[in-house]
Amino acid sequence: MLSGQLHAQEIEARLYSNAPIGMNFATGGIAQAKSGSYKLTTEAVSLTHVLDVAGQSGRLSLLLPYAELSGTGTVGGQTFNASSEGMSDPVIKASANLYGAPALSLDDFKNYKQDLIIGASIAASVPWGKYNSEQMVNVGANRWFIQPGLGASKAIGPWRLELAGMATIYTNNNSFMGSNTLSQNPIYSGQTHVIYYFANTAWISADATYYTGGQSYLNGLPVSGPQENWRYGSTFSYPINKNNSVRLTASTGGYSRTNNSYDLYGISWQYRWGGGL
């Protein structure tokens, strides 16, 4: 379940921001998460399109990940080595700014100055990732999740203060270790970011998230307690030119009631085009 848990615990700055209508972003990157003896390495590409939603800017995104997961687990007092590699579950996300981010052309956007932005989003994973019902460890979850969210971003000079909340709701996996049913309560999370923009449009952020819930059940019987954890990290984005930028990110667990903290490091390259650019 590591890959699904990571998405529920993600820390992503600039969730709600404005961009010119018609702009497109293509991103490719690699990230590695380590939790105990488990290591998850993910190579992913994503595509994002900015569009007009009732006079405010919105975004449609598609994330396609490929993952390698390995680790050592214990079942019935016996230790085993497990690994899985293949396509992980794609994620589709739609977001719409509700206030403070008007739909603008590239020329009009040059005169735009952010004040307060309020936005909403919904994401869903599609269970197309590689899954073997006889394995404990898989890169695909064999279940959907739906993740509605709401957030705000406030500009103060070169600073941005952000706050967002979301719920990750899971469907059942009815083929867990054979024909067992694995279910999980929703995970509720909140995240905050303090972002500083440099004169060349590079930016750096200090990030933190808190999440709770997510108790798991096997055939209706609890197999783990509810979570109550928080994480912190940082993101740095640097523009190479008007079309390209590189981003570095890192985060770690600050507290974990259920001992499922992990360390995450990633690097990605982004290319943007369209919208009159």
User: pLDDT tens digits, residue range 111-122?
Assistant: 999 999 999 999
Buried b (16+ CB within 10 A) or exposed e, 132-161: eeeeebbbbbbbbbebebbbbbebeeeebe
Tokens of 170: 């899971």
State yes or no: pLDDT of 82 exceeds 90: no
Can you tell me the distance from the alpha carbon of 117 to that of 5, in angstroms, rounded to the nearest whole number? 28
Query: How far lies 112's CA from each of 71, 101, 142, 146, 250, in Å?
Result: 49, 9, 44, 33, 31
Mean pLDDT of 193-215: 94
Contacts of 241 (CB under 8 A, 6+ apart): none
Interstrand relation of 216-218 and 56-75 (parallel, antiparallel or unpaired)? unpaired
Whose tokens are 């705000």? That residue is: 152
CATH architecture for the domain at 2-274: Beta Barrel (2.40)
State yes or no: pLDDT of 74 exceeds 70: no
Helix and strand element counts for the chain (H, E) = 2, 17
State yes or no: pLDDT of 245 exceeds 70: yes
Check if the beta carbon of residue 131 is closer than 8 Å to that of residue 28: no
**Of residues 256 and 19, more confidently modeled:** 19
Whose tokens are 């921001």? That residue is: 17
pTM: 0.89
Cα angle 183-5-222, degrees, rounded to a multiple of 5: 30
Sign of the CA dihedral with 70 first, then 74, 76, and 80 last:
positive
User: pLDDT tens digits, residue range 41-57?
Assistant: 999 999 999 999 999 99
Can you tell me the distance from the alpha carbon of 122 to that of 95, in angstroms, rounded to the nearest whole number? 6
Domain borders along the chain are 2-274
Mean pLDDT of 211-232: 88
Which value, to the nearest 10 degrees, does the dihedral of the CA atoms of residues 153, 248, 191, 114 take?
A: 0
pLDDT band at 257 (very low <50, low <70, confident <90, very high): low
Query: How far lies 274's CA from each of 81, 148, 175, 199, 271, in Å?
Result: 47, 28, 44, 23, 11
Mean pLDDT of 86-99: 96
pLDDT band at 1 (very low <50, low <70, confident <90, very high): very low
Can you tell me the distance from the alpha carbon of 85 to that of 245, in angstroms, rounded to the nearest whole number? 29
| Mean pLDDT score across all residues of the chain | 90
